[in-house]
Structure formats: C-alpha cells, structure tokens
Structure 1
Amino acid sequence: MNSSPNTTTPLCLLFDCDGTLVDSEILLAEVMGEILPEFGLPFSARQYMDEFRGVRFKTIVQTLEKRFQALEEGAFSQLEAGMRARMEARMRAELVAIAGIPAVLEQLSNHPMAVVSNGPERKIRCALESTALGHHFEGRLFSAYTLNVWKPDPELYRKAAAALGYTPQQCVVIDDAAVGVEAGLAAGMHVIHLNHFPEEETTPDGAIGILHASELPAAIENLSTNVTADV
C-alpha cells in the first residue's frame, strides 16, 4: 500500500468513462431509444439523459418492466446483445473524447490513472481505442461487470483503489453522473463532479463541481496541496 500522499506520491485519479472521458452518453441514449421500444418497453433518448445516466443497463430494463410489462422469457439476453452491438458500431464510427480531455490527461500524466466504469470491459476498451486515449490507462481498467458491483455501490471504487495499492484518501474520483459521484463520496474518496448540466443538476456537498474538463488540473492541484497540508 502506498504511503500517505505527499509531493512524491501523487493522488490516484479514478476516471469514469462514459460522459467523463468520452462523449458517448447521447449515442447510448439514442441506441436505447431505438431498441427498447422494439422489445415493448417505451423509452426515449431524452429519458435516458434525464433519468438514467450512468445506471446499469439491467437496472434500467428492470425499472421499465415494472412500469410497463415484463420481457418475454430469454428476451433480455437478446436485447442486451443487440444494444451492445449497435452501441459498439456507433462508437467506432462516431465517438469523440469529451472536450478538453486529451490535453488534460497529458497534463496529469504524473498521476497514476485508471478507468472505473459501470460498463463492460469490452465497451471501455472500445471507447478508449476509438478516441486514442487508451495509452493513459494501460492495464488499469475496472469494469463493474468484471468486479460484479455497480455504482452507486462504493465498493466498485474501493476495489479499484485496493487493486492499485491506494487508500481511499489517496484517490480522486472524476465522474459526471450522479451514481458515480455518490459512489465516490460513499467510498471516502475525493470527488470531482464534471457537471455537464449545471442548470439541472447540483453538485452534492463534499464533491467539487467543475463545468469543463480544462478545470481538472487546477482542481486536482488544489486537492493535492490540501491533502499534503493535512498529513
């Protein structure tokens, strides 16, 4: 385990993927808005953005089943496979990094960094390959599907930190979705909320709110200074 953070032990940065590193949320919303109604579950892209950003796909489907009707037996596997295939095709053709993220990752290259996502590992890898961000996170991808725990459960972030050899207090969670911010705070980590919708969403107490990725280096520098002063 790493020692307490100081000037020679940079804070470990745990990035969410969708909506934080890559601009995939609208693509996912559109794919879900297409395929869920095909299986008898009314849904729109706007509904995903308003209600379900960052939420596990199975949880979204279960919520819709309670509201409308249960899927036929065995239909979920077909639905999920279709959603994943359509999403991967869209990502490879259209996905871009969140504005400012490529430059920010270069600026923060002295920090250990990992991706911690509610998505499957294949989707994470596809996202990073499609946006040429993968070299920042080699061997440091943590998927909820692999670890069998999903945000807002804080255990996902805790497991990632432990695997990397850092305590929660040495980690900074960077996440755009409420479920990820909640998970990071509950894990006892520093949290930076990349708030894309400041007129609609409020950054929770205990988290640092920023509106653009370009603000990340300064926010992390301030955290590093404050943590070192507290040691």
Structure 2
Amino acid sequence: MSKYKCIIFDCDGVLVDSEPIAGQVLVDMANEYGANIDLEYALKNFKGNSMQECYAQVAELATERLPDDFMPNFRERSFESFKKNIQPVEGVTEVVKSLDMPFCVASSGPENKIRLNLELTGLLPYFEENIFSCFTIKKWKPDPAVFLWAAETMGFDPKECLVIEDSMSGVNAALNGGFDVFGFTAHDYHNELDGNATLTFDDMSQLLKLID
C-alpha cells in the first residue's frame, strides 16, 4: 500500500507535451525582435520559469524593445499552436486512468491554458474540479504556495502528498513546502533533478510501480 494519499501533477512536461510548442512560439517571437535564439536555447533556459521571467530574458536578448502586447500575443499564438500540435506525455493517460487515489494538477500557467491543454489531450475529465494555477494566487514556483493550496483543498497534509515535477523550480517548490517530489527526467536538459528530487524516473509508465 502506498504511503501517499494524493498525487499533485505539474502540467507542462508532465501531463502534456507543451514545452517544445510554447518554446518554439517564444523563439519565433523573440527573434522577430533580434534575440537570435533557437529552440534548444529556449528549452534549456526558459523551462520551468514563469512567463514573467521568460519575458525578462527575452527583453535582455532582444535588440529591439519588446512591444507592450508581447505577452498577450505570445499567449494567443501559443494557444493556436497547442490546438494544432499538442499531445499528452507518453504513458500519462494510462497512469491517471489507473490511479486509485485522489490527484490534481498544480501549474505555473494560467488556468485557461491548463484547461485548454488538458482538453486538447483528453485529460480534462480527470482533472476538471482539481486544477490549481499560480496565476490565481499570484505566487510562482519555487514558492510552494500552489502546492500547499492544492494539498489543503484536496484535504491532505503535504507529507501525505506526492508531487510529480519536471523542472528544478518545481522540485524546489515541492521541497520548500515539505512534499516528497518525483522528478520526471525525460526532458531534464541540465541533468539537475537527480540528487535533488526525492526520486527520479524517465518513463511515465514507471510511475504507478514507484508509488506503490
């Protein structure tokens, strides 16, 4: 029997394979203003960061001033790309179908983005009432607030919950809140989760065995 009573999933890179899509949109937009970066750069430097942090990095790289509507335009363009290209992370649909304990999603993205991507990948029915966004509380990882909010709302103590994350900021947020956190390393571009997360794994189909 698992020692955990609730699973808290990150969204991007854990439930949905959205990061290469959003990263490419951000690269394309950044390069329109002289940033001269590629997708590899974006995945290594933007992964796990809040949109505000990514914007600040792009503004530093750009040779032209970013327009005031850069972030709203990014959301619009990324949403359109999600609709065409997004897929669930391989194996995760089977995981959520098979879980025999409560679970939820806690993400740095805005709730409408979380809902859109879960809907597009067929995962929304499993998370409909249990979606927690950093935008709602205006506190972003590595602040543990979104995980603490999720745990409290789900009715559990942090020690009873397991967080599934794929970024160092998310791992730190979980640890800062007193949670165990399993690091999903399929796209751990800096090889930094191993040794920091409670445990690491690179294949989502392994998760159910690891929880038991």
Partner of 1:57: 51
Alpha-carbon separation, structure 2, partners of 1:54 and 1:198: 11
Listed one character per residue, the Cα deviations across residues 136-193 of structure 1 (whole Å, up to 9, x for unaligned) are 1121111111111111111221122112221110111001111111111111111010
Provide the aligned length of Structure 1 versus Structure 2. Answer: 211
Identify which range, 193-202 or 44-53, moves more after superposition. Answer: 193-202
- The match for 1:212 among 196, 203, 208 is 203
Question: Which 5+ residue runs of structure 2 have no aligned equivalent?
Answer: none
Matched, 1:13 2:4: no
- The match for 1:158 among 115, 137, 148 is 148
Alpha-carbon separation, structure 1, partners of 2:130 and 2:104: 5
Alpha-carbon separation, structure 2, partners of 1:57 and 1:152: 14
- The match for 2:177 among 175, 187, 194 is 187
TM-score by length of 2: 0.91
Q: Aligned with 1:47: secondary structure?
A: helix
- The match for 1:101 among 82, 87, 92 is 92
Letter in 1 for 2:45: E
Q: Is the 8 A contact 1:15 1:113 kept in 2?
A: yes
CA RMSD of aligned residues (A): 2.0
> 1:120-199 alignment to 2 at 5 Å?
120-197=110-187
Q: Is the 8 A contact 1:39 1:79 kept in 2?
A: no
How far did 1:40 drift? 4.4
**Aligned pair in 2 of structure 1 residues 90, 215: CA closer, same or farther (>3 Å)?**
same
Alpha-carbon separation, structure 2, partners of 1:153 and 1:69: 32
Alpha-carbon separation, structure 2, partners of 1:48 and 1:199: 11
Question: Which 5+ residue runs of structure 1 have no aligned equivalent?
Answer: 1-5, 222-231
Alpha-carbon separation, structure 2, partners of 1:172 and 1:117: 15
